[in-house]
Amino acid sequence: RPALTPRKLLGFHCADGQGNNSLTDGFAVAYALKERKPHLFDLLSRHGMAAGRRLEYYASGPLMFDTNHRVLNTDADGNLMRVQYHESYRTPLTVPYEDFEGYFEALATFYEMVHSPEFQTHLSVSAGQLLIMNNWRTMHGRAGLKGKARTILGGTVTREAFYSAVRTMEQEELGVPPEVECGVPTAAYPYVAARPEARLRVGFNDQQRAASA
């Protein structure tokens, strides 16, 4: 079932026919907007956009939810973390009255940039091909070919599952034992793998904690 926080990876497998896709780098659009019209970037990173969905294709019954998320999600330092925008799910805006006109201009400007030739490209996938993308950054649209049928299978992967898989691959490639890796930043794996004394230190600390428990 879909999560209110978008999954990190989005994939489409073309099982039959051919699929047409439009792709836009949401980060490129956001940073261009910040450079050209910083006040509009500020509005999209400060106020949430109301949205909602009703999904009726689950065997357990319909799934309904509403959200109010920022189009441009930034960290405490203003660095862009995630772009979250879907025009067809947008519901009436709930931004403060004094910011409404500016916010609507920001949405319209962002929409125009996303669909402009400057930022948007197009890609076709044929039967047997898979398109996979960073769902927090890549903005995706799809359309069929007129008069032709197609079968597209879609799927998503959470950030946690993807990050865990990356850590597992790094452990195997560098030879980091499982009893050492817990809590170690992935970027520090080469250090731990190259220094046996670091492994012993971690193992000794584990033994101390077990003895004091």
Query: For residues 102 and 40, is the Cβ–Cβ distance under 8 A?
Result: yes
Whose CA is closest to 41, among 79, 67, 76?
79
d(CA 199, CA 31): 42
CA 159 vs CA 8, 135, 142, 154, 156: distances in Å: 5, 10, 23, 17, 10
pLDDT of residue 98: 95
Distance, CA of 156 to CA of 13 (rounded, Å): 12
**What is the DSSP secondary structure assignment for residue 6, as one 8-state letter?**
P
pLDDT at 147: 63
Beta bridge partners of 16: 151
Say what the pLDDT of residue 152 is: 86
Tens-binned pLDDT, residue by residue, of the chain (213 aa): 444 678 899 999 999 988 889 999 999 999 999 999 999 999 999 998 888 888 887 788 887 878 888 999 999 998 999 999 988 888 888 899 999 999 999 999 999 999 999 999 999 889 999 999 999 999 998 766 666 788 888 888 999 999 999 999 998 998 888 777 778 888 888 888 887 665 555 444 444 444 455
Q: How far is CA 106 from CA 44, 70, 172, 181, in A?
A: 7, 12, 46, 45
Between the alpha carbon of residue 38 and those of residues 10, 31, 32, 41, 56, the distances in Å are 30, 9, 9, 5, 40
Q: What number of residues does the chain have?
A: 213
Three-point CA angle 45, 141, 152, nearest 5°: 135
The DSSP string of 163-205 is HHHHHHHHHHHHT--HHHHTT--GGGHHHHHH-HHHHHHHHHH
Is residue 103 within 8 Å of residue 129, measured between CB atoms?
Answer: no
**How many Cα atoms are found within 13 Å in the side-chain-facing hemisphere of 80?**
20
Count of CA atoms in the C-beta half-sphere (13 A) of 194: 5
Place of tokens 């930022």: 119
